[in-house]
């Protein structure tokens, strides 16, 4: 798994969300806004996002990690940290 920087991680998150919600409006999404609230992701959408992020980055994502993935800033920090070799 290759280390991601903030820009790479943000790109992966946004591309993954776009695959689930093709008309997602990222202009309305602040870094700390919850995806479920702003982009109207339901539980199945969120699980699809988690699976996509895991597949695309090679990062194992456990259920305990889900709260960290609820915002753009949290998801970016999580992926950068995990791909840097952190746990």
In this prediction, residue 87 has a pLDDT band, given cuts at 50, 70 and 90, of: very low
- Number of structural domains (the chain) is 1
Reported pTM: 0.92
Q: Provide the CATH number for the domain around residue 48.
A: 1.10.1200.10
> Is 1 inside a domain boundary?
no
> Is 13 inside a domain boundary?
yes
> Is 53 inside a domain boundary?
yes
> Is 27 inside a domain boundary?
no
Residues with Cβ within 8 Å of 75's Cβ and at least 6 positions away in sequence, in order, are 9, 13, 53, 68, 69
Write the pLDDT tens digit of every residue in 7-39: 999 999 999 999 999 999 999 999 999 999 999
Domain residues for the domain of 40 are 6-22+32-83
């Amino acid at each position: 798994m290759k280390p991601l920087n903030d820009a790479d991680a943000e790109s992966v998150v946004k591309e993954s969300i776009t695959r689930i919600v093709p008309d997602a409006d990222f202009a309305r999404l602040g870094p700390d806004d919850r995806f479920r609230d702003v982009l109207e992701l339901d539980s199945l959408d969120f699980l699809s996002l988690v699976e996509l992020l895991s597949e695309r980055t090679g990062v194992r994502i456990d259920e305990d990690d889900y709260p960290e993935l609820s915002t753009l800033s949290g998801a970016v920090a999580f992926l950068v940290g995990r791909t840097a070799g952190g746990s």
